Amino acid sequence: MYMLGNTKMGSASSFSKFCLTLLLLVVVLGSTNAQLSTNFYSKSCPKLLSTVKSTVTSAINKEARMGASLLRLFFHDCFVNGCDGSVLLDDTSSFTGEKNAIPNRNSARGFDVVDNIKSAVENVCPGVVSCADILAITARDSVEILGGPKWAVKLGRRDARSASQSAANNGIPAPTSNLNQLTSRFNALGLSTRDLVALSGAHTIGQARCTSFRARIYNESNIDASFAQTRQRNCPRTTGSGDNNLAPLDIQTPTSFDNNYFKNLVSRRGLLHSDQQLFNGGSTDSIVRGYGNSPSSFNSDFVSAMIKMGDISPLTGSRGEIRKNCRRVN
């Protein structure tokens, strides 16, 4: 009986160890594959959304263009190894980040505003909220403040400890891209052709530098002549002359988030080559027309596409870190 009892005790002990191991495994797996959720910080940082919103509002009140710049940072973050805050990292003597990659150099901006938002958030809940999530919230707030739709942002991303200049150079579509290049890049990230057109509607706000559209306004034929002449006044033909002069991506309402971008494309008044590719006798013409005719259709598809883009390869659970300063790893 003693021997038998001992065996039973041994098996019970082994079973409880097995259960404990299984529980730990579930916890570990859960922490590395955690899901994003809209209420991720509801207990750990209840004042998060109002804190971000007030800082973004004051930044846009100072300069309306800042809304487009902050929205663009989120795009340029998510398109390079996922939405992980890597675009915010400064170069150091031992580290080359993404800020000086071709798509970002002399054009990505709003980093100081992100610093201000991070400081404000750290004041209300230190060490809790990632820079990657701050970018996601800031993008939504910028759209809403400029008259666009509002949506519940999924949160729970953590920050990358590294960045990749080469991935930024290769991963962010250039303004010279054709429709096939745009479609394949978006598809590679799990974004559909409809998502591509909807997200391109972000160009209803913001400005572009002369270097980005010079070739289009002087060399292309699928462009409204008077529009080309208007843009040529502030963007000389000669490279090196007026390279950084700005023009609105949407000539009608450059600081209002609306569907005029699509109406411009139908009128052959897309500023960038890549913009006009969406309405140039190809497969996306009908989507552009649809959004030009229906603001509500554009808004709902834009929201869906933004949420999908925000789901690209986030670091969750125990991966990555919560940066104290968005410009450098802890």
Positions marked active-site: 76
Distance CA 238, CA 310 (A): 39
For the chain, what is the total number of helices (H) and then of strands (E)?
14, 2
Dihedral class, residue 81 (left if φ above 0, else alpha if ψ from -120 to 50, else beta): left
Q: Minimal CA–CA distance to 251: which of 235, 273, 268, 274?
A: 268
For the chain, the straight-line distance linking the first and the last C-alpha, in angstroms and rounded, comes to 60
Alpha-helical (H) ranges within 201-279 are 210-219, 225-232, 260-266, 273-276
Q: Residue 136: which residues within 8 A CB-CB, separation 6 or more?
A: 74, 83, 153, 154, 155, 157, 310
Vertex 146: Cα angle to 142 and 150 (nearest 5): 65
Give the number of other CB atoms < 10 A from CB of residue 6.
10
Structure tokens at 51: 């804190």
Q: Residue 201: which residues within 8 A CB-CB, separation 6 or more?
A: 259, 261, 262, 291, 298, 302
At residue 209, φ and ψ (nearest 5 deg) are -85, 150
C-beta of residue 172 within 8 angstroms of C-beta of residue 79: yes
Distance CA 297, CA 230 (A): 31
Give the DSSP letter string of 69-120: HHHHHHHHHHTTTSSSSGGGPPPBTTB--STTSTTTTTT---HHHHHHHHHH
C-beta of residue 83 within 8 angstroms of C-beta of residue 136: yes
